[in-house]
Amino acid sequence: MVESNQTEKGITRRKFTFGVMIASMAGAFVSLFSLLKVITPPKKAGYVSTIKIGDQLVYAKGANAGSAVKASSMNVGDWVLAYPKGKTSNPANIVQLIKLKESDFVAPTKVNLTDQGFVSYSAICTHLGCTVSWVKNTSNPDASVTECFCHNSIFDPSKGAKVIGGPAPIPLAQIGIKVQGDSVFFTSGFTGPIGPQV
Ligand code: FES
């Protein structure tokens, strides 16, 4: 009888110990999962542009937001953020319009998608999706670069917006533009993926 009680106690103790081990392991998994969630930023939902050929570029910011971009107001080394007219509510549509010298463009820039020194790229950083900025080189305007200040990715607008610094994994996609009169219009879709690619 005494032996039977001791056996039952032994079994109960083993069950208890096993239960504690399972609970500890589950807790460890939950902690690890939480940690990984912090280290690995969530993959952003895809950015889907609704820009169509023939859409007109309008200023995205400033006092003139929503009005037509004036090509004549831009000199070499200038840059504006723009949207297609009437489609400003879709963040995937924001682009940079940059003016350089025509002779500045080298591969992989698609020169046939540029016009009179104007080139346009997505303005959404391919790292984690911040809107990029422009760093004007005042002494050498055509050496100006696009930079994302979130984590300092730098893109070269004369070379197809290729990444020349920082964590962005791929270039900013180019999009075709054409100057007509003093206005600017889109002539193609994006040449590659837009938005965060990590
Ligand atoms: S979001 Fe642009 S560098 Fe990170």
Output the pTM of the full model: 0.78
Ligand 1 probe mutation, 128, 131, 147, most atoms within 8 A of CB: 128
Domain that holds residue 16: 1-40
Q: Which residue has the higher pLDDT, 46 or 88?
A: 88
Kindly give the distance from the C-alpha atom of residue 187 to the centroid of ligand 1, in angstroms, as a whole number: 28
Q: Which residue has the higher pLDDT, 71 or 12?
A: 71
Is pLDDT of 124 > 60? yes
Region 18-28: what's the mean pLDDT?
52
Ligand 1 probe mutation, 151, 154, 163, most atoms within 8 A of CB: 151
Q: Which residue has the higher pLDDT, 32 or 189?
A: 189
Q: Which atom of ligand 1 is nearest to the CA of 167?
A: 3
- Count of C-beta atoms within a 10 Å radius of residue 104: 18
Is pLDDT of 90 > 70? yes
- Domain membership flag for residue 90: yes
Question: Which protein residue has the closest C-alpha to ligand 1 atom 4?
Answer: 151
- Domain membership flag for residue 148: yes
pLDDT of residue 182: 97
The residue written with tokens 């999706």 in the block is: 129
**Do 78 and 116 belong to one domain?**
yes
Which of 172, 2, 17 has the alpha carbon at shortest distance from 97? Answer: 172
- Domain membership flag for residue 127: yes
Number of domains observed in the structure of the chain: 2
